[in-house]
Copies of this chain bind each other. A is one copy, B any other.
Amino acid sequence: MTQTPSVLVVGAGAIGSFYGALLKKAGCHVSVVLRSDYEVVSQSGFEISSPMGNLSWQPDRVYRDGDRPDAAPDYLLLCVKVIPGVDRAALVRPWMGKNTTLVLIENGLDIERELADTYPANPLVSCLAFIAVSRTAPGQVSHQAYGQLVMGNFPKGFDSHCERLTGLFREAGIKVDQSQAIVGERWRKCVWNAAFNPLSVLCNGADTLTMLDAEGGEVLIRNLMREVMAVAKADGYPLPEDLVEKNIPGTRAMGAYKNSMALDYLNDRPIELDAILGNVVAIARQHQVAVPHLETILVALRMRQPSS
């Protein structure tokens, strides 16, 4: 590894350009691979407004999808959405070197496996991002709040690559929680996401309070959360019994909130249905855990969405 770490961000949308900005700020060489926005970003870089200050930056190199790299990066940040039709293992192939550490900053559950299977010799760092950030125009990103990461190796542990990345991100000003059991952290986040996100899409983009306050709404959401917890437990990741009891008032305290999947739906973008819910139901089936509420929502959304 070089003295100055080299980073390549694949899928430099809102999330990718934000975390790329932080690593740039921490002194790394940071390049990006873009599908859209290539012209704008090549010329003017990313403009990022943020409560952390101005995070605008110019990548060291801007690649197009399909370009060949000059050299493999030390860290490859994969920040694309996890949706059908996007073969993530194929997407990173041209950029993966022998010593490249693959870093996933993506939502969902069981989203690491296909990459771990394809690149068994490369270190794999799995991150959950707690952040409100959105792309407002080509090359323009609005960071509204938060930004902390939970990080660990997949499927478990916390190696020197995690240590080094943690240091860089902290240097740039964000909080990183180090986890020896990142899969458990994904399950924990999934308890909220699997309950609220797909249901909000079924409800045409409803906000959290509309959902909780409908007749029977809070009971349904508790049932959905409990089903996710039962699957997590069967999968070897028992979560604290009072998680549901904490999630509900915590959600109410946020006020009426439209989650990212609701926003994707309302903006005609594809939704991460399998990453957030389909994989939970698949794991439930492996362990023969009954998840009738989750299953109903999953299938209803599949009936709506032509699968690709």
Residue of B204, B210, B217, B298 touching A299 (CB-CB under 8 A): B217
Query: Does A220 count as interface, using CB distance less than 8 angstroms?
Result: yes
Asked if A293 is at the interface of the complex by the 8 Å CB criterion, the answer is yes
**Candidates B203, B214, B292, B303; contact of A203 at CB < 8 Å:** B303
- Contact A215–B299 (Cβ < 8 Å): yes
The answer, among B210, B217, B293, for a CB contact under 8 Å with A292, is B293
CA distance A203 to B302 in the complex (A): 9
Interface class of chain A by DSSP: helix
Q: Is A133 an interface residue (CB 8 A)?
A: no
Whether A296 lies near B296 (C-beta < 8 A) is: yes
- Name, among A211, A296, A304, the residue most crowded by chain B CB atoms within 10 Å (CB to CB): A296
Tell which of B204, B210, B297, B304 touches A296, judged by Cβ atoms closer than 8 Å.
B297
Give Cα A260 to B293, complex, Å: 25
- Cα of A298 to Cα of B203 in the assembled complex, Å: 11
Nearest CB on B from A251, distance (A): 14
Q: Which residues of B contact A299 (CB under 8 A)?
A: 214-217, 219-220
Whether the pair B215, A300 counts as a contact (CB closer than 8 A) is: no
Closest partner residue, chain B, to A204 (CB atom)? B304
Instruction: Pick from A206, A210, A303, A304 the residue with the most CB of B within 10 Å.
Output: A303
Q: How far is the CA of A177 from the CA of B223 in the complex (A)?
A: 42
Residue A15 CB within 8 A of the other chain: no
Contact with B along A287-308 (1 / 0, CB 8 A): 0000011011111101110010
Contact present for B215 and A304 (CB under 8 Å): no
In the complex, given contacts A210-B303, A216-B299, what are 7 additional A-B residue pairs having Cβ atoms less than 8 angstroms apart?
Answer: A202-B202, A204-B304, A211-B303, A214-B299, A214-B302, A215-B302, A292-B292
What are 29 sample pairs from A and B whose C-beta atoms fall under 8 A apart?
A199-B300, A199-B303, A202-B304, A203-B300, A203-B303, A203-B304, A204-B304, A206-B303, A210-B303, A211-B303, A214-B302, A215-B299, A215-B302, A215-B307, A216-B295, A216-B302, A217-B299, A217-B302, A220-B295, A220-B296, A220-B299, A220-B300, A223-B292, A292-B296, A293-B293, A293-B295, A296-B296, A296-B297, A297-B300
Across the A-B interface, the 3 shortest Cβ-Cβ residue pairs: A292-B292, A296-B296, A214-B303
